């Protein structure tokens, strides 16, 4: 406990975290019949907002109307509860380790505002890419690789390969 008080940024062993993630993927396959994924929860949230704000537009739109039902909310899906669980778990983890606070972590070479713009831009690109790919990295990589899908392995290689290439051009913002 003394070590945690001296350095509140001690994280779990990444191998143990990976082991737990593997168990979660197995449990998810067992209970739901499919793997993990988070982009579907975002889609459900967007559909619910559009349906609430502009119900006629949502009902007449070819994309939104596929997810709208009279007897069931678009938010009533296990993916939404999965993402809520991740958010709550992250808050608990951050609270237990003293890492919760309103601050922007960034390199001394850039401003907080620039860091937030990069984060927003990266998040938007990730969301667009997830929609084009019909799923996010967690669904494609974790779930695909866990069933030994060649596509899952190729996707993972492409994700990390692209990340390494992009990091070369943006490294001056972080180091």
Nearest Cα to Cα of residue 34 among 68, 70, 82 = 82
Q: What digits encode the pLDDT tens for the residues 36-63?
A: 777 788 888 889 999 999 999 999 999 8
Task: Give the pLDDT confidence score for residue 49 in this predicted structure.
Answer: 93
Dmax of the chain from CA atoms? 60
pLDDT digits (tens, 9 = 90+) for 99-150: 788 888 777 788 889 889 988 998 888 888 877 877 777 777 778 888 888 8
For residue 8, the model assigns a pLDDT of 55
In whole angstroms, give the CA distance from residue 156 to residue 114. 29
Alpha-carbon dihedral sign for residues 39, 44, 49, 54 = positive
Residue 148's pLDDT is 86
Please give the pLDDT value at position 143. 80
Q: Which residue has the tokens 């974790």?
A: 142
How high is the pLDDT of residue 34? 77
Statement to judge: residues 163 and 112 lie in one domain: yes
Length of the chain, please? 175
Last residue of a domain, one of 51, 86, 101: 101
Residues 14 and 43 reside in one and the same domain: yes
Whether 167 and 118 map to the same domain: the answer is: yes
The Cα 69–Cα 52 span in angstroms is 13
- Domain extent, residue 153, equals 103-175
Indicate if 77 and 13 belong to the same structural domain.
yes
* One domain, residues 87 and 58: yes
Q: 5 and 83 share a domain? A: yes
DSSP one-letter string for 90-149: HHHHHHHTT---S-----TTS-HHHHHHHHHHHHHHHHHHHHHTTS-HIIIIIIHHHTT-
Residue 62 pLDDT? 92
The structure's pTM equals 0.67
Residues 113 and 172 in one domain: yes
Same domain, 82 and 116: no
The Cβ of residue 137 has, within 10 Å, a number of other Cβ atoms equal to 21
Instruction: Inform me whether the pLDDT recorded for 93 exceeds 90.
Output: no
Structure token pair of residue 118: 């990069």
Mean pLDDT, rounded, of the chain: 83
Q: How far apart are CA 86 and CA 88, in angstroms?
A: 6
Same domain, 41 and 121: no
Instruction: Answer with the one of 101, 131, 159 that is the final residue of a domain.
Output: 101
Tokens matching residue 131: 């929609």
How many domains does one find in the chain?
2
Going by C-alpha positions, the residue among 123, 103, 105 that lies closest to residue 115 is 105
14 lies in the same domain as 79: yes
pLDDT of residue 95: 85
Q: Does residue 128 sit in the same domain as residue 169?
A: yes
Instruction: Please check the confidence at residue 81 and state whether its pLDDT lies above 70.
Output: yes
Using a pLDDT cut of 90, give the percent of the chain over it.
Answer: 13
């Amino acid at each position: 406990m003394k070590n945690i008080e001296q350095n509140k940024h001690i994280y779990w062993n990444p191998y143990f975290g990976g082991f737990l993630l593997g168990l979660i993927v197995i449990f998810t396959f067992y209970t739901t019949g499919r793997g993990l994924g988070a982009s579907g929860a975002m889609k459900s949230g967007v559909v619910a907002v559009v349906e609430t704000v502009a119900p006629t537009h949502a009902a007449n739109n070819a994309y939104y109307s596929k997810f709208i039902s009279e007897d069931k909310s678009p938010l009533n899906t296990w993916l939404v509860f999965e993402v809520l669980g991740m958010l709550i778990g992250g808050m608990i983890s951050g609270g237990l380790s003293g890492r919760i606070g309103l601050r922007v972590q960034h390199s001394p070479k850039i401003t907080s505002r620039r860091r937030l713009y990069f984060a927003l831009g990266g998040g938007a690109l990730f969301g667009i890419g997830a929609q084009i790919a019909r799923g996010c990295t967690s669904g494609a990589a974790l779930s695909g690789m866990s069933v030994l899908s060649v596509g899952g392995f190729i996707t993972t290689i492409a994700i990390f390969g692209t990340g390494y290439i992009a990091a070369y051009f943006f490294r001056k913002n972080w180091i």
